[in-house]
C-alpha cells in the first residue's frame, strides 16, 4: 500500500490508470484493488479522485480569484468533465468549488 499511495501522490497531476498504480506497487490489478478495499475501504480510483479533489481545494483556497478559474484548476488536476467534477467536489467538501474560490484570499 505504501508504494501505491506514494506513487499516486508523486503522480497526482498525471493521467493514472489502475494498471500504472499496480505496476508501481508490484501488485496485480486485482491485488491492488483488494488491498485498497481491505486497508482503506475504498478503490484505487476513488483514492486518486479524493487526493485530486484535495489538491484542487488547496489551490482554490490559496488562489487569487480574478486570475484563477475553477475550470482551469480542475483541468490542471485531471478533471475533464466539469459538471461531474463539481458533483464530486460538493460531495467531498459540502460546497461548490466556486464558493471555495470566492472565499479565498
Q: Are 96 and 102 in contact (CB under 8 A)?
A: no
**What band does 104 get if pLDDT is binned at 50, 70 and 90?**
confident
CATH at 47: 1.10.10.60
Determine the pLDDT at residue 74.
96
Q: For the purposes of burial, counting CB atoms within 10 Å of the CB of 15, is it exposed (0-12), middle (13-18) or buried (19 or more)?
A: exposed
The H-or-E segment that residue 24 falls in is helix 18-25
H/E segment holding residue 44: helix 44-62
**Total domains in the fold of the chain:** 1
Report the C-alpha gap between 52 and 64 in whole angstroms. Answer: 20
Range of the domain at 55: 2-103
- The model's pTM is 0.91
**pLDDT at residue number 105:** 64
Q: Which pLDDT tens digit goes with each residue over 24-82?
A: 999 999 999 999 999 999 999 999 999 999 999 999 999 987 889 999 999 999 999 99
Amino acid at each position: 500500500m505504501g508504494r501505491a499511495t506514494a506513487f499516486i501522490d508523486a503522480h497526482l497531476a498525471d493521467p493514472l490508470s489502475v494498471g500504472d498504480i499496480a505496476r508501481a506497487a508490484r501488485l496485480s490489478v486485482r491485488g491492488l484493488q483488494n488491498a485498497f478495499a481491505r486497508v482503506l475501504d475504498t478503490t484505487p480510483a476513488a483514492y486518486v479522485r479524493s487526493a485530486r479533489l484535495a489538491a484542487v481545494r488547496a489551490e482554490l483556497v490559496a488562489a487569487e480569484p480574478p486570475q484563477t478559474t475553477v475550470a482551469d484548476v480542475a483541468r490542471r488536476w485531471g478533471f475533464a468533465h466539469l459538471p461531474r467534477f463539481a458533483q464530486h467536489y460538493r460531495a467531498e467538501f459540502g460546497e461548490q468549488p466556486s464558493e471555495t474560490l470566492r472565499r479565498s484570499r
